[in-house]
Amino acid sequence: NAGVTQTPKFQVLKTGQSMTLQCAQDMNHEYMSWYRQDPGMGLRLIHYSVGAGITDQGEVPNGYNVSRSTTEDFPLRLLSAAPSQTSVYFCASSDWSSSYNEQFFGPGTRLTVL
C-alpha cells in the first residue's frame, strides 16, 4: 500500500491564481481530511469527509473548496489564492474501526503564494 499520497510536494502561486491540491489513499478509508500547518499553530482542520459525496467544514474553511466523488480521492481547491494561504497542507485518512481517530497523514504540500 502507498498509504496517503499528495501532489505536488511544492507549489508557488501568484495572488489570484487557482489550483488543486491532490490527495489519494489506497486503504479504503471512509474518512479523509485536509489540514494546514502554520508555524506555532499546530495543524488546523480545513475540510473533512466521512464518505463519498459527503463533505463538511472544519475550523478554517474559508477560501477552500473540496469534493469527494470517490472513496480514494479528496482534492482541495483554492479558487483565488491569497498570501494568507501560504502554508504546508496535509491530507489524512482513517476508517471507522478506530472511530476515525487514528488518522494517517500524507507527506504534505508546501504552498507559497506571492
Partner 1 sequence: GQQLNQSPQSMFIQEGEDVSMNCTSSSIFNTWLWYKQDPGEGPVLLIALYKAGELTSNGRLTAQFGITRKDSFLNISASIPSDVGIYFCAGFTGTASKLTFGTGTRLQVTL
Cβ at position 81, least distance to partner 1 in Å: 22
Q: By CB under 8 A, name the one of 18, 26, 41, 84 that touches partner 1.
A: 41
| Residue that is written with C-alpha cell 466523488 in the block | 69
Tell me: does residue 12 bind partner 1 (CB under 8 A): no
Minimum separation from the CB atom of position 2 to partner 1 (A): 13
- Does 114 sit near partner 1 (CB under 8 A)? no
Closest CA to 23 of 9, 1, 12, 7: 7
The letter for the amino acid at 64 is: Y
Site string for partner 1, 63-92 (x = CB under 8 A): ---------------------------x-x
Set of cell numbers at residue 49: 469527509
Query: Residue 104 in contact with residue 6, Cβ under 8 Å?
Result: no
100 binds partner 1 (CB under 8 A): yes
**98 near partner 1, judged by CB under 8 A:** yes
Q: Which cell numbers hold the place of 40?
A: 506555532
Dig out the grid coordinates for 88 from the structure. 504546508
Please choose, from the candidates 96, 99, 113, the residue with its C-alpha nearest in 3D space to the C-alpha of residue 21: 113
**What DSSP designation does 75 have?**
-
**Residue 106 binds partner 1, judged by CB under 8 A:** yes
45 binds partner 1 (CB under 8 A): yes
Q: Is 27 in the site for partner 1 (CB under 8 A)?
A: no
